Amino acid sequence: MHHSFKAISLTYKNSSVEIRENVALSPQETEDLLSKIKEYTSAQNVLVLSTCNRTEVYYSHEDDLGDTLVALLGIVKGLSNIKDYNPYFTRITQSIAAMRHLFQVAVGLESQVVGDLQITNQVKRAYQASADANMAGPFLHRLLHTIFFTNKRVVQETGFRDGAASISYAATELVTNLASSLSDPKVLLLGLGEIGTDVAKNLGDAKIRLPNIALTNRTLSRAQEIAEEHEFETFPFANFAQAISQSDIIVSSVAMPQPLITTDLLNDLGLKQPSYFIDLSVPRSIDPKIATLPGVHLFNIDDIRNKADQALEKRLAAVHDVKSIIEEALSEIQQWAQEMEVSPTIQRLKNALEQIRQEEMARHLKDLDSQQLEHVEKVTRGMMQKIMKLPVLQLKAACKRGEAETLIDVLNDLFDLEKHPAKRV
């Protein structure tokens, strides 16, 4: 079955955000798609992965089911024009290429932010959904566990996951570091454009959650939507000055021609505690002169970008090592999959020999006592194991040479194995 592993993939590389958001799947929609694939196809080892940057379906089947899977996706999403999305989906029909792509996605090589920290957990959730839907066969179980082990090797053996390699991740990391030095820190996010939203979601998804995070946006409903997802507080944008006075860390990504936060504003607020301001806006939404005020610390987008660029350079330098680790893992999973292909033949041969052994013992050993029977049982089982040893070794060696099919045919003909079960008897 491993020779028939395939994938369809729509990602940020070949589609706009408008296209991606139309086919992005919620957890419930992922469950619905898995159910429809199970109902309308005979695909096995199905994995549905959907994030803000990609929607992909991995599956095992002899045929290319790409058009069918896209059509089923359209049904789940209620898209009557789903055929228009076909050009955005890449079909990966070679098994090794599909496996390699999933490896690279899972470790972050295919992410917009190279080495994305979130993608591994997203793959784990996709795997859990597949297992819950009884769509994860032995091959997918083995493949995913190999991928997760490979990801650990990448973390332990390379610098690929070191540091925050995007502005939003770097800003999130800075907020977290600053908060760790404060007692009961209060974090305020002003503005929820692309970067502000990413920072909010990163803080919401962080393993160590900060307890006091508040959001505001000129469109309050946008803030409320994100806040509800992550259990943050919100307040009207008109009250931003009061919120600043009650916060320790202020992250601003408000798009406006003039600074929103000025020295006059902060002087009027009479800040009593040290405050940290992070300006992610271009043009700047925080007047750089506030850095001259007592107890005020300011970080601008260049500070954040420099940190992100340094991390990205380190990650890019590790890409070669990451790909080498992936190729090692691919070689192992291929060898396992090839051996799995010959295991039914091995079991059939073993069952055929066992049947012969049992029949001959039944014919000739009727008059033996229990002790004699036990001795003959031991001897004949040992003989059978030695007879089995060479064909098994030859089959596994043939797997590595890609010649297993020929030897399987020979064994089938010699022992008429098709009439014997492949299951253990």
**Which residues carry out catalysis?**
52
Per DSSP, 63 falls in state: S
337: closest CA among 385, 404, 391? Answer: 404
**Residue bearing tokens 């404060």:** 182
Is the separation of the CB atoms in 147 and 45 below 8 Å? no
Q: Torsion over CA of 301, 303, 306 and 309, rounded to 10 degrees? A: -50
10: closest CA among 109, 85, 104, 111? Answer: 85
Measured at the CA of 348, the angle between CA 346 and CA 353, to 5 degrees, comes to: 95
Distance of CA 257 to the CA centre of its chain: 40
SS3 label, residue 165 = coil
Sequence-distant (≥ 6) Cβ neighbours of residue 326 within 8 angstroms? 100, 103, 104, 107, 109, 150
Is the separation of the CB atoms in 7 and 59 below 8 Å? yes
Helix (H) or strand (E) holding 162: none
